[in-house]
A and B are shown apart, each in its own frame.
Chain A
């Protein structure tokens, strides 16, 4: 576990918590420190409790932990909500002038810093900057050079004019000096800086950037937490690359627009979350049957129904694998880190076009809203490869015409992949349909053709299984007797838990699975291990069921469905307990 520092700002929705947190995260990132953030937020515009948490270290951090060192509390509830994570050395920065904070009690041995945030902000140019005053105070407590905060403030407010930037810098300094002058206290923290360059982004942004990199030009979507950020990211950016974003009237429309764009030959995508996936499932079978390449991004949140819209869950696995009437060939990808969100998006577009099939790209809330640092090389645009699959043009189309000149978009082939003619291609005019069809796309109920087309579509999946790499990501001790399997965003917490467990003398091999269908064959790994645990954020253990089905062996399960992602220290304890219980 790296020598880390854990910081949070919390208050009510409407207090500017998110942007305050983002500014501090940016300052840390720009100082050459690694950052991993998390958010507690509710589905409301005002009131309630919301927090932005940052874990930072000079080493890579990829999980949240159950510890909070410095807390900026704008409301008493912020302290209550975090009592479990605060410890005796924790510092709580608050504004005792604020009516609700006047009688606030600082628990135990914690240090309370009463800083007149509002008054100092007003002196610097406006009460609205009170959170920046608090950030300045936090810099002093953490011995973090304030110039890094300046740099983040410049980035944040550059387009609003130098005056505002200067006022904010002044506000930050007011907070810093207040703590320096008023509190004669040695704090235990000292945040080193490095010369490393990092970029700071979340999973939704990585998916959006991956889409542009992959040549996606058309995005249609309907706003829904936590997928909206994909659309917000693309809006204003994709246009610069010749693309367009449409806000559709509902998810039914969003997926059908994307389908239309894909039939037109564009790389197209839509993104949504559970309730939207339910609606989009109506069209899913059509996409597969008409053999349309399409990327459908599902940023999972807690369900069923409206569930907990701002909370984490990995509960849609079965729906993505099996959702829709009839038998629908598909691919299901689930990136395991924020950087992988970028690469799996690129891969999803290539797979969709190479195999003319719908591809579910599965993120989840935890990863979607987590800002995480990476070296910029983690998003090397020169390494992006585009494979558009089997597209015919005027010079090659003749080999795929019937004797009477009809194009065969569903030609029966050995590998199941048929030629694709984009509109405008001479002699390529053809029908695409959700009806069973012949090689030309014309409706048929002929029993032989039905079987040939079903087999052909499923043969594409077999071909992909042979041709593509569906390996899991591997961490820890390759020959350990304990095997932990996970999918999606749990990877970071697991990788950090590995270190904690190793310190404790428990060796673990981790397989983090980014491909849910087709998926890697885990039989050998399971057979080689003494204990096997499947970790996931749902109640019933959907992936554990699949592993058991695939390898014909029982596995242990760790399931979390509180709405909060796994934390490294918590997960290490859970794994230890599960191993002990199975002894």
Chain B
């Protein structure tokens, strides 16, 4: 079946309500293409979405999906994947969802290294609530709730991931369609937690982190001699605050995903129509 799958099969019949020009269109296209290219089809794919503009992605894509509570998409994805190792799981959210209300879950999802993909549509702004500072906003970025800027350093998601023991850390840009799709595909194929932060510009509320800004400033690691498997090199580019990078910043080739560490490989949806065989042993234990 998968050979006949085209990326448009992952498109639902709902028209996106994102603003014209929103970076999320490109981000979503790359996700759909990545899923199709890696041999998945909508019936064996589960997309978990958070809350915010990015959270709407579950509605615009066609697959099994859950659009959940703000900030909790990663735990949901974890549950789906552990219960159903046969299902491809992709979790998507925004910078607020992932690095603010869900920051705690991000750290632990990274540590767990469950074999799923996490795509963060990072526009450095709260768009759906009409323009407040996000955890990745610049310190001097003026918004309705931070008239003089948030005056706090932005969260560095890659550094947070690295410090939490990430095995795959990548950055893409929604308007560089080809590279974005390639990076998503690599994240899907990675044996473990594939984390991709995507610069996905908000054309309505963010006049600083724009398409032009990223186009002009992004350095593609694929065009440098960056060795993604070199932890020290990864640290260097991740902590380099003078430049914006795209590409795969770090990949642990020795990554052992959660299900291998813990021997979780069964489809948990299949159970017998009575107590499982041998269950009486459980009673006997209490003699």
Contacts and interface: CB of A to CB of B under 8 A. Distances in A.
Interface residues of B, number: 58
A239 to B, nearest CB: 7
B79 A442 contact: no
Interface in A423-437: 423-435
Nearest to B86: A424
Given A241-B276, A242-B266, A260-B48, A433 B66 contact: yes
Given A252-B72, A266-B269, A442-B59, A404 B79 contact: no
B1 to A, nearest CB: 8
Interface in B27-86: 42-46, 48, 58-59, 62-69, 71-72, 74-84, 86
A266 B280 CA distance: 22
Interface in A214-241: 214-215, 217-218, 220, 237, 239-241
B283 A381 contact: yes
A262 B79 contact: yes
B6 interface: no
A239 B87 CA distance: 20
B59 to A, nearest CB: 6
Contacts of B12: 431, 442
Contact of A286 (B59, B69, B107): B69
B287 A239 contact: no
Contact of B79 (A199, A260, A431): A260
Interface in A185-219: 197-201, 205, 209, 212-215, 217-218
A129 to B, nearest CB: 24
B83 A265 contact: yes
Majority secondary structure of chain B interface residues (helix, strand, loop or mixed): mixed
Contacts of B79: 218, 220, 256-264, 268
A384 B268 contact: no
| Of listed B76, B86, B284, residue having the most chain A CB within 10 A | B76
Contacts, number: 214
B4 interface: no
Contacts of A213: 275-276, 279, 282
Contacts of A98: none
A381 B264 CA distance: 25
Contacts of A286: 68-69
B62 A264 contact: no
Contacts of B48: 260
A215 B271 contact: yes
Interface residues of A, number: 72
Contacts of B108: 248-249, 253
Contacts of B272: 215, 386
Interface in A362-402: 376, 379, 381-382, 384-386
Interface in A266-295: 266-268, 282-283, 286, 290
| Of listed B80, B104, B269, residue having the most chain A CB within 10 A | B269
A267 B82 contact: no
A246 interface: yes
A263 B66 contact: yes
Interface in B254-287: 262-264, 266, 268-269, 271-276, 278-280, 282-284, 286-287
B130 interface: no
Interface of B: 12-14, 42-46, 48, 58-59, 62-69, 71-72, 74-84, 86-87, 104-105, 107-108, 262-264, 266, 268-269, 271-276, 278-280, 282-284, 286-287
Interface of A: 29-30, 197-201, 205, 209, 212-215, 217-218, 220, 237, 239-244, 246, 248-250, 252-254, 256-268, 282-283, 286, 290, 376, 379, 381-382, 384-386, 404, 406, 422-435, 442-443
18 contacts: A199-B284, A199-B287, A212-B282, A215-B271, A217-B268, A244-B268, A256-B72, A257-B75, A258-B79, A260-B66, A261-B82, A263-B80, A286-B68, A423-B43, A423-B46, A428-B43, A433-B67, A442-B14
Given A197-B287, A253-B78, 16 more contacts: A30-B287, A209-B282, A209-B283, A244-B262, A248-B108, A256-B79, A376-B287, A382-B275, A385-B273, A386-B271, A386-B273, A423-B46, A429-B65, A431-B59, A433-B66, A443-B14
